[in-house]
Chains A and B, each alone.
Chain A
Amino acid sequence: MSANVLVVSEHDNHHLARSTAHVVAAARQLGSVTLLVAGSQCAPVAEVAAQLDGVDRVVLADAEPLAGLTAEALAEAVLAVGGDSSYILFPATAFGKNIAPRVAAKRNVAQISDVIRIIDGKTFVRPIYAGNALATVTCDDPALVLTIRTTAFDAVGKRSTPAPIETQAVALAASKTTAVGRQLTQSARPELTAARVVVTGGRGLGSSEQFHALLEPLADKLNAAIGASRAAVDAGYAPNDWQVGQTGKIVAPELYIAIGVSGAIQHLAGMKDSKVIVAINKDPEAPIFQVADYGLVADLFQAVPELTRKL
């Protein structure tokens, strides 16, 4: 008999996040997939979720206490719907990391974080020490909570006929936590973790003005997302949620262009799975060149505008 796998979808009550299609890809390797859409007034999300290939059924848990999508309320909803699942999967994103351990602790089972490979139903590979080592781990707990590193599993596509959607009532106490508000960075660019091309700037850009003046035209030309190294974020050149690295976003685009980035270990952990890496840096000894497919030792203030012009 195939194991029951519950995938907890990430969404904002309106739109399904791309991370979900990656988690479904991992879930299919473990058994039959139930996709949970838990939120408030989120039926349209369930309809989009039902179109994902590999989803056997969608459970819609729509309740007012879930409106704020707080960890407390979501964990209760997950347990109410999937308490007897053999696996409960979340994306290893800020959303999934927030909720998954709460579910594991309530179920009294272990959680394995940041899974990058599934070896068998009990054995998984995950990065430790900021990706500087890979651990193969196994666990005999009766059920497992996993968070899935989305860049390690190719997203599933769409299916021709949607999976059935079941509505399940969940009785939840009113959440003690109130979501006061969200300040999301508005951007016309593709999302960092989903972009085909990422242009990343480092400390070498020298100032916030130069960071934007040099990178934005290049990113526009390539329809790229813009990322930043931790040094650039700490120096105030770019907002925090642009940060690529172990403590920021993990990206794996087809083309990654690192500009004025030295290539600290923390940064490399966040981008080394990119398909093609380009580095532009005036320091020929910068560690970024050790992972770059194409390195250009040059003054970025000349090379980047020239690159933008000639593309």
Chain B
Amino acid sequence: MKILVPIKRVVDYNVKIRVKPDGTGVETTNVKMSMNPFDEIAVEEAVRLKERGIATEVLAVSAGVAACQETLRTALALGADRAILIETDVELQPLAVARLLAAIVAKEGPQLVIMGKQAIDDDANQTGQMLAALLDWPQATFASQVVVDTAAQQVTVTREIDGGLETLQMPLPAVITTDLRLNEPRFASLPNIMKAKKKPLETVSPAALGVDVTPRIRTLKVEEPPKRKGGVKVADVDELIAKLRQEAKVI
């Protein structure tokens, strides 16, 4: 069974982002970029399925600028077997990415797509569900546990919902999106980083896949959220209770 893992290059999790002074977006030049953390979890899950003999190949795919190759190399160092970059300088939005991935699925024929539930830059939480819709595949979003039964060609997924957990069972092929507690991704070892440099990485264009990636949504401006100003320090519990009763009137 082949597993496809789409990954996105985003501003690193630990970077405190800055809004550009002209309000056109968020500063990304000279900022550390990394693999979207939810996608790392997806890579880890796919690699573990391969290590357990359930998957035969893990294919990492990214879409975006040439620098996304670095992110794909990271996925290869973590255990993916090969990678495809759909290279474009156009700003990609979820529906366009889902169409690109659907074209790759048609070409590669994976039985399972595992991807992050959302990217930590645009926080859209759309692409996995959109891909499943375009392929007419079942979906299991926000997964915290994945059990693949290759004999029965089905997958059982526990997913995180408001108020608890839900368990779904669905036939393969399917799309799974990862939540935080699915696993703890490994770190790439130096020998694996070296080995990753020799693994195959192919580049295609959106046009070659027959997909129009023209953005549908235009960003008019990006601004900092209104700052919440810190209030006062109280000396003790008595003063706190007095403030809450008489000033804030919330208790």
Question: Interface of A with B (CB < 8 Å)?
Answer: 68, 70-72, 75, 93-95, 97-106, 108-114, 123, 127-141, 176-185, 191, 193, 197, 222, 240-241, 246-247, 249, 254-255, 265, 272, 275-278, 284, 289-298, 303, 306-307, 310-311
Question: Interface of B with A (CB < 8 Å)?
Answer: 11, 16-17, 19, 26, 93-95, 98, 120-134, 138-142, 144, 156, 160-171, 180-181, 216-225, 228, 230-234, 236-238, 240-241, 243-244, 248, 250-251
Assess the A105–B141 pair: CB atoms within 8 A: no
Residue of B16, B127, B161, B167 with highest tally of chain A CB at under 10 A: B161
User: What are the 8 closest A-B residue pairs judged by CB atoms, nearest first?
Assistant: A293-B231, A101-B129, A184-B164, A105-B130, A105-B133, A101-B126, A110-B216, A180-B167
Residue numbers in A under 8 Å from B169 (CB-CB): 177-178, 180
Nearest CB in chain A: distance from B101 CB, A: 11
B161, B218, B230: the one contacting A139 at CB < 8 Å is B218
Q: A75-B133, A129-B120 are in contact. List 19 more A-B contacts (CB 8 A).
A: A72-B138, A94-B160, A97-B129, A101-B94, A102-B130, A111-B126, A112-B217, A113-B124, A114-B123, A123-B220, A136-B220, A137-B218, A182-B161, A185-B164, A222-B251, A255-B251, A294-B231, A295-B230, A296-B233
Assess the A295–B95 pair: CB atoms within 8 A: no
Residue numbers in B under 8 Å from A105 (CB-CB): 95, 98, 129-131, 133-134
Nearest CB in chain A: distance from B46 CB, A: 21
B17, B98, B163, B248: the one contacting A276 at CB < 8 Å is B248
Assess the A275–B250 pair: CB atoms within 8 A: yes
Residue numbers in A under 8 Å from B222 (CB-CB): 128, 133-136
A97, A111, A294: the one contacting B141 at CB < 8 Å is A97
**Dominant SS among interface residues on chain A:** mixed
Residue numbers in B under 8 Å from A141 (CB-CB): 216
Query: Across the two chains, which residue of chain B brings its CB closest to A92?
Result: B125
User: How many Å lie between the Cα of A109 and that of B126 in the bound state?
Assistant: 12
**Dominant SS among interface residues on chain B:** mixed
User: How many Å lie between the Cα of A97 and that of B93 in the bound state?
Assistant: 16
Provide 29 A-B residue pairs closer than 8 Å at the C-beta atoms, listed in order of the A residue: A70-B138, A98-B142, A99-B129, A102-B129, A102-B133, A102-B139, A113-B123, A128-B222, A133-B225, A134-B223, A138-B217, A138-B218, A139-B218, A141-B216, A176-B138, A176-B171, A179-B168, A182-B164, A183-B166, A185-B163, A241-B164, A246-B123, A272-B225, A276-B248, A290-B228, A292-B230, A293-B231, A294-B231, A297-B233
